[in-house]
Each structure stands twice: as structure tokens, then as C-alpha cells.
Amino acid sequence: MSTERFDVNGVTLSVTTEGPVDGPPVLLLHGFPDTAELWRHQVPALAGAGYRVLAPDLRGFGDSSRPVDVSAYRMRTLIGDVTGLLDALEIPSAAVIGHDWGAGLAWAMGMFAPGRVSSLVALSVGHPSARSHAGWEQSELSWYMLWFLLPDVAETVLPRDDWAFLRQWGWREPSDGVDEQRQVDALARPGALTAALNWYRANIDPKTFGMPPDDRLPHVTCPTLGVWSDLDPFLNEAQMTESSRFVDAPWRYERVIGVDHWLPVRAPEQVTGLLLDFLGGPR
């Protein structure tokens, strides 16, 4: 895999690229607290199947720029980053695949830049209106988001004792520790933790947290696959299955059994198989 740097929308994005330049483009969007490394299993598999794969370190993460202002992480700006990347590569539209906040960004692209999204895959996180319909259970699971909004609190607590809370809270199921350490190393870089938390601080309003759902958000109009795992401690199933109500196109849902939140690294072969099947197989 190779890494390129692109100046777009006022920031520099570090982008992992692989696959034939004339292949169907696939854009992989990671979430918190990850980098493009989250997709290390899927990138070579998709490229080997003939797809042109782009996996950026999103704004605030990895080797990409980390603006200081919270307002620099608002969703409309994040959409501008990825559409700017497509513009820089002269790609009219791409299959957009996201996990966690990357899934939130993928949904936002489908809603507000529909011409740039040929198909959409959301891992773990459903349509934002569907999340609002998922009930108090989902609000309780999302308690940490309110904590992340408090200035300097998470920055003080998370790094304590070699990031013990992040390791134990984020990775409750047994693991080999590789991806835990990868996340810790990325967040420990100067300014990286605050930049990552700014995704929450710029896009979540504590005044409306847990309020009745807002169904005025646009529907998605491209073929969409939603994938949820039954051991996810942060997201319930309803916020994904209810997403079908907000997709005015073919909708497919897949439940992955015995896997926690980190689908691309916990179930790499299953996730890759679902992606290839949804995208239409090898080119």
C-alpha cells in the first residue's frame, strides 16, 4: 500500500491508495479513535479484486492535519474534505464505506452530496434519524458522548495509567492488543486526542441529546448496506435496522454474530466478503 498527501479544503490529508486507477473507486472512512490502518485487511483485498481504494486519515487523525478550532470539525466541513479528495483525483462518485464516525460521515455524504455516492456501506452506525428512533437504550449506551463534550475532562482521564480506561472500556472483549496499542499510539501524538474529540464537540449538541427524533433530515437515495455486530457495547440493533426507513433505494441489513464494535479488524474476512458481495464481486 502507498500513501499520498492531498491539500484539500484547507487541510492536508494523508491517504492510503491501492488498486488500479481505472478501477471502480471505493472510499473507506474510519472513525474514532482510528486511522486508515483500521482498513488494513480490506484495502489489499478490495484492490486485489480490481477496485481503486482510497483510505484517508480523516481530519484530526493520523498523519492528516489537526486544526485547533472546534468549528473546523463540523460535518459540513468534513463532507468538504472527502468530496475535495474526490475532486483532486477527478473521481465523480465512489462507493463510500464507513465505520463509527466514518459511517456518520458516509451517511452525511449520502444525504447532502448524493451525486458523489454511488453506493453506501455503514458499519455499526445507522442513519442519524434512525439513531434518534432507537429509544432510551441507545441514549444510555451513548453516555460517553456527553462526557467527551466537557473541555479537558476526557483529555485528563483517558491517558491515565497508560490509557487504561480506553483499553478496558473500548476493548471489552479479549484481543491481542495490537489494535488497542495502535489507537493509543495515534491518540498520544501532540494534539491528537483533542482533535479526535472535536468530532463530538462540533457535531453533538447536549441540549438536544436524547430529544425526540428529527425526521426532517434527507433520505439516502443510493443502494445501502448496513452492518451491525451483536456484541457492540455502544450501539443497539434498532439504530441500524430503523435506517431502512430513511433509504429510498435498495436496502440490505447484515448482523455479525459474536463480534464487538471494531468490525473491520475483529471480523476482517467476514466484513471483506460482505463488501465484495455488495459491490458486485471482483471486477
| Residue 75 belongs to domain spanning | 2-279
The whole-model pTM stands at 0.96
CA distance 136 to 238: 11
Q: For the segment 105-114, what is each residue's pLDDT rounded down to a tens digit?
A: 999 999 999 9
Long-range contacts (CB closer than 8 Å, 24 or more residues apart) made by 84-90? 84/6, 84/8, 84/9, 85/6, 85/8, 85/13, 85/15, 85/27, 85/54, 85/56, 86/25, 86/27, 86/116, 87/8, 88/6, 88/8, 89/6, 89/25, 89/54
Domain of 249, CATH number, reads: 3.40.50.1820
Mean pLDDT of 56-80: 98
Q: For the segment 208-235, what is each residue's pLDDT rounded down to a tens digit?
A: 776 656 678 999 999 999 999 999 999 9
Number of domains in the chain: 1
Strand, coil or helix: what is 16? strand
Strand, coil or helix: what is 251? strand
Mean pLDDT of 227-245: 96
Q: Which helix (H) or strand (E) holds 129?
A: helix 128-132
Q: Three cell numbers at 67?
A: 486544526
At 131 the pLDDT is 81
Q: For the segment 138-190, what is each residue's pLDDT rounded down to a tens digit?
A: 989 999 999 999 989 999 999 999 999 999 999 988 788 899 999 999 999 99
Share of the chain above pLDDT 90, in %: 85
Which residues have a catalytic role annotated? Answer: 100, 261
